[in-house]
Structure 1
Amino acid sequence: MHIVIMGCGRVGSTLALALEAKGHDVAVVDQESDAFRRLGTGFSGRRVTGVGFDQETLLEAGIEQAGGFAAVSSGDNSNIISARMAREQFGVENVVARIYDPARAEVYERLGIPTVATVSWTADQILRKLLPPGSEPVWRDPSGCVALAQVSVHPGWIGLPLTKLEAASGARIAFLTRLGEGFLPTAETVLQEGDLVHVLLRDDSADAAEAVFGAAPEVH
């Protein structure tokens, strides 16, 4: 996958190197050419000097071929403008923006742009949001059989009890993140719009479970 990263600070450079190590093609954009020194001599991706929400700069970085875009500069406004441009103008499927103001982050999550709002969520957390759902488990048990992962859920499940989702998928819903706060669901918990769903599932049934999450519920 070709991935464009705006911002070559500590998070951006760490993210770029981690993605390249996983075999992805990476382009990094920053206004300061000196920032690219953080990438080291071993980085083989593109280094593009310019403003991350400038159309010509994004085109030079290969935004038209990008499957992912991460805005991790030091400015909230720059990050959200560039993220919206990548999503809305260039149709990039996987977009994430680093936002320092948690209140603003909540607003942009509701607009469909995943955000990272706390400093403690570093490049590893952005990596999990940037790549396709299920590709990067948050945790795996020592035997390698059971994984904890964030999954995408079809809008058709909104308004239904989580117990129905568990019964259909065979997975265990470990917790939800709602409006930026995590909580443990009960038997009465209903899926709401904007919920982030984290599930425990076996590796040998992960594909089937994710297919259930990604499809509308069957009508009986």
Structure 2
Amino acid sequence: MHIVIMGCGRVGSTLAQRLEGRGHSVAVIDSDPDAFRRLGPSFAGMTVTGLGFDRDIQRRAGIERADAFAAVSSGDNSNIISARVAREQFGVDTVVARIYDPGRAEVYERLGVPTVATVTWAADQVLRKLLPAGHSSVVYTDPSGKVRADQVFVPQAWVGRTVGALESATRTRVASVSRYGAAEIPDTAMVLQDGDVLHLFSRISDSETVFATLSEGPRQEES
């Protein structure tokens, strides 16, 4: 794959090094030529000095043959504009933009540009460290008193297990999983990762069993 990265800060340089380490072709764009020093002497990819949303700069980075584009500079506006140029002008299907403002991230998600909401993700991670594994926040209770919706940090015991296994064991439904600040509707084969936030529905009458099972983890026969 050929991947173009806009922004050579700590995130962009780390991303570039890891992608190249996995055998991908990488081009990095940054307006500051000194930023490329972060890539280190072993980096064999392309570096392009200029504005990431400039079409000619993107062409120099190989956007016309790119399989993916990541905008991870420190500016929300630059990231979203460059991501839209890559998608709308050059037809790159896989784009992602790093966004600091959670409100903007939601808007851009609705416009079809996947985002990583840095502030939201960081806050989730800090909460996870502060609160015990499996900590739940009730976000909805059915007026009939039968169903509740909870936001739960995935317990360590369930990391590496599938959504389907968790649903079967807890008798819940996982409506969405938030990962790195972005939510998605999971299928039963999705493997849970450290830091995931689950949005799950369960019967109120089953609450004690549900949260005991979440805390205890899979039974031996499920392992």
Q: TM-score, normalised by structure 2?
A: 0.60
Cα separation, 2, equivalents of 1:26 and 1:181 = 25
Cα separation, 2, equivalents of 1:40 and 1:18 = 12
Give the match for residue 111 of structure 1: 111
CA drift of 1:202 comes to 8.2
Give the match for residue 131 of structure 1: none
Match 1:196 to one of 184, 193, 202 = 184
Q: How does 1:121-200 map to 2 (within 5 A)?
A: 121=121, 146-147=161-162, 174-177=174-177, 196-200=184-188
User: Residue type matched to 2:189 in 1?
Assistant: L
SS in 2 for 1:201: coil
For the Cα contact (< 8 Å) 1:147–1:200, is it kept in 2?
Answer: yes
Give the match for residue 65 of structure 2: 65
CA drift of 1:199 comes to 3.7
User: Residue type matched to 1:54 in 2?
Assistant: D
Q: How many residues align?
A: 154
For the Cα contact (< 8 Å) 1:102–1:117, is it kept in 2?
Answer: yes
CA drift of 1:147 comes to 4.9
CA drift of 1:174 comes to 4.0
Cα separation, 1, equivalents of 2:27 and 2:118 = 24
User: Residue type matched to 2:28 in 1?
Assistant: V
Q: Which runs of 5+ in 2 are unaligned?
A: 123-156, 192-223
CA drift of 1:120 comes to 7.1
Cα separation, 1, equivalents of 2:8 and 2:105 = 21
Give the match for residue 86 of structure 1: 86
CA drift of 1:12 comes to 0.4
User: Residue type matched to 2:186 in 1?
Assistant: H
For the Cα contact (< 8 Å) 1:6–1:70, is it kept in 2?
Answer: yes
CA drift of 1:201 comes to 2.0
CA drift of 1:200 comes to 4.3
Larger radius of gyration: 2
Deviations 1:61-82 (A, max 9, x none): 0000001000011111111110
Identity %: 62
SS in 2 for 1:198: coil
1:44–1:173 distance in 2 versus 1, CA, 3 Å: farther
SS in 2 for 1:5: strand
Give the match for residue 96 of structure 2: 96
1:201–1:104 distance in 2 versus 1, CA, 3 Å: same
Q: TM-score, normalised by structure 1?
A: 0.60
Give the match for residue 204 of structure 2: none
Q: Which aligned runs of 4 or more in structure 1 are off by greater than 3 angstroms?
A: 119-122, 172-175
For the Cα contact (< 8 Å) 2:76–2:99, is it kept in 1?
Answer: yes
